[in-house]
Amino acid sequence: MMASTMPILTINHKTEYRYAQPVGFGEHRIMLRPRDGHDLRVLTSRLEIAPEPMSLRWIHDVFGNSVAIATFDERAEVLSVSSTVTVEHNPAEEYTLTPDNPAYFYPFLYDNEEFPDLIRYIEPQYGDPDGELSAWACNFLDAEAPTPTFKILSGMTHRICEDFTYRKRHEQGTQHPLDTLLTGSGTCRDFALLMIEALRQLGIAARFVSGYLFVPRSGSHVGGGNTHAWVQVYLPTTGWIEFDPTNGIVGTRDLIRVAVARDPRQAIPLHGVYLGAADAFIGMEVNIELAEFGAQAEAEH
């Protein structure tokens, strides 16, 4: 008999918008359902919205992410969106490249058949008029080529974690990578975008990932949770591998993937508009909690 532990997590994510008087609601796009994969499987999923939407439909967007689209015909002073998901999470181990991998050394070439599908992840999406971002990226190359590719990827991940200061910003969206580089500070979304654009300056395919970070509390299976952002990098014969520059994580330990996108603006967890006076909006409250349960999966031979 052989036993293995498959961690099971339940994610409770509730967002509540409050208004001074009843307002109407336009279409809301909700991207909170984790993205299934060989390291992550959704066991149950429940989405509760109040007031109840007139219609709620699910689609897969251009990247294959699950998106719920809600439309409303009722006015209210409070809009509440509550997602409860249970997943089986089998975190990928920290990855290292072997010398027989075609991307073991940088620079390397992408396969001709894959390159047309990767080109938008390779092309820089943000301006670098004075070459500051390119110069910063080149700091991770050895003086004499070639450089081990994994040394570049892990080096950049840990450099951002160690040298940059995390700070919350009240402004919506993600700041320009050059602003993150200049100030040496930002949010997880800012750090992810900085690393993505730096890698693209080197011709390495990278994309944005949004999801959750599980932070276990000492001595407890219940932990704090946050929406989080990190990076996926595509390497020949290896596929997409994950790097979290905010926490210096290589692999998917403590990371629950929800969506992938070319740009952060394409992976917003909850997005919509209200119809009413500009000063009607009072505020938004977000509460996220993750609980971990040990489940024994046994197989007899």
Portion of the chain with pLDDT greater than 90, in percent: 79
Q: pLDDT per residue over 174-208, tens digit each? A: 999 999 999 999 999 999 999 999 999 999 999 99
pLDDT at 294 over 60: no
Region of poorest pLDDT, from 118-132, 165-179, 199-213, 242-256:
165-179
Portion of the chain with pLDDT greater than 70, in percent: 90
Contact yes or no for 176/183 (Cβ under 8 A): no
pLDDT at 218 over 80: no
Q: How far apart are the C-alpha atoms of 203 and 121, rounded to whole Å?
A: 9
Chain centroid offset of residue 39 CA = 15
Helix, strand, coil percentages, rounded to 5, for the chain: 20, 45, 35
pLDDT at 224 over 60: no
> What is the per-residue pLDDT for 253?
83
pLDDT at 6 over 50: yes
Beta strands in the chain (DSSP E): 2-5, 8-30, 40-50, 55-60, 66-71, 76-89, 105-106, 147-148, 165-166, 185-186, 206-216, 222-235, 239-244, 249-250, 255-261, 270-275, 281-293, 296-299
H-helix or E-strand spanning residue 121: helix 115-122
> What is the per-residue pLDDT for 299?
32
Q: pLDDT per residue over 228-249, tens digit each? A: 999 999 999 999 999 999 999 9
Helices and strands per DSSP (H, E), number in the chain: 5, 18
Contact yes or no for 13/83 (Cβ under 8 A): yes
Domains annotated for the chain, with CATH where assigned, are 2-90+268-299 (2.60.40.2250), 105-266 (3.10.620.30)
Running DSSP on this structure, what letter comes out for residue 266?
A: G
* Residue range 209-229: mean pLDDT, rounded: 71
CA-to-CA dists, residue 125 to 119, 161, 171, 190, 240, angstroms: 11, 23, 21, 14, 19
pLDDT at 268 over 50: yes
* Residue range 31-38: mean pLDDT, rounded: 94
* Residue range 31-47: mean pLDDT, rounded: 95
pLDDT at 162 over 90: yes
> What is the per-residue pLDDT for 291?
87
Peptide bond before 22: cis, by omega within 30 degrees of 0? no
CB atoms within 10 A of CB 59: 10
Q: How confident is the model at residue 60 (pLDDT cuts 50, 70, 90)?
A: very high
> What is the per-residue pLDDT for 158?
97
Q: How confident is the model at residue 217 (pLDDT cuts 50, 70, 90)?
A: low
> What is the per-residue pLDDT for 301?
36
Contact yes or no for 34/87 (Cβ under 8 A): yes
What is the pLDDT of the chain when averaged over all its residues? 90
